[in-house]
Amino acid sequence: MLCSTCLRPLEYAFLRKRKKRYTGEDGPATETITVVVGHCLQDGHYSTIFSDEIVKNKQYCIADIRSVLENKADCSLASPRTRAYWKSWFRGVWDAVIQNIQRYIGSTVSENDIASMLHAFLKKCGEDWLRYVLDLFSTECNNLCMFFDLISPTIGIGSEKLRELHVDEGADALWRGTKPP
C-alpha cells in the first residue's frame, strides 16, 4: 500500500465495509466487501485501498461499467440513467487524463495526438483498459512516469510508443526505492 501523493508506504489504519453491486446470473446482486484504509505517516492523511474490481465512488463493479462503456449487448442491469451517467463521467475522466499527460510533457504534443496514441495503447490492454485509465486519472501529474516513458524522443506524433503495463500493474505498483521525480 503506497500513498498516492508521496509514494511512501501506508500504515494499516482500519477496515471499512462497502457495498458492491454487480450483474449476476439472476439479475442485479449486492455484496458487502471489506476494504483497507491506510494512514500516510508523512502527510498524515488517510487513503482507502480498493481492489481492482472496485471503482472509487461507484457502487457497481468495474466489469459492469466497462461493458456499458464498450456498448456490449450483455451489459449491466443498471438503470438507463446510471448508464448515461457512467458515459458522461468517463468523458470527464478521459479529458482530465489527456490534459494531465499534455501538461506533464509540456504541451509539445496536441491533445488529439495524445488521445489517439493512448487509445491505440489501450487496445493492447484488453479488459484492463479501464483500470489503466482510472489509475492514470487518480495518479498525481508528477507520478505519471510510472506509466509512460515520457521523454521527447519517445512520444511524438505517430510514435505510439507508450510504456507497457508495469509488472505490478498501475498506480498501486510497488515503488523501486528511489525518490519520486
In this prediction, residues 63-68 reach a mean pLDDT of: 88
pLDDT tens string 24-53 = 777 777 888 888 889 988 888 888 887 778
- Of residues 47 and 75, the one with the higher pLDDT is 47
Please answer whether residues 51 and 61 qualify as being in contact, where contact means their C-beta atoms are separated by less than 8 angstroms. no
Q: Which residue has the higher pLDDT, 162 or 62?
A: 62
87: pLDDT strictly greater than 90: yes
- Can you read off the three cell numbers belonging to residue 109? 504534443
pLDDT score at 10: 87
List the single range of 32-36, 61-65, 72-76, 110-114 with lowest mean pLDDT: 72-76
- What residues have CB less than 8 Å from 162, skipping those under 6 apart? 117, 118, 120, 121, 148, 155
Instruction: Return the ∠ at Cα 31 (arms to 25 and 33), rounded to 5°.
Output: 140
Confidence of residue 19 (pLDDT cuts 50, 70, 90): confident
More confident residue, 87 or 28: 87
What H or E segment, with its residue span, contains residue 168? none
Give yes or no for residue 122 having a pLDDT over 80: yes
Question: What is the model's pLDDT at position 32?
Answer: 87
Domain boundaries, the chain: 10-146
How high is the pLDDT of residue 149? 52
Q: What is the CA radius of gyration of the chain?
A: 18
pLDDT value of residue 89: 95
Residue 85 has pLDDT above 90, yes or no: yes
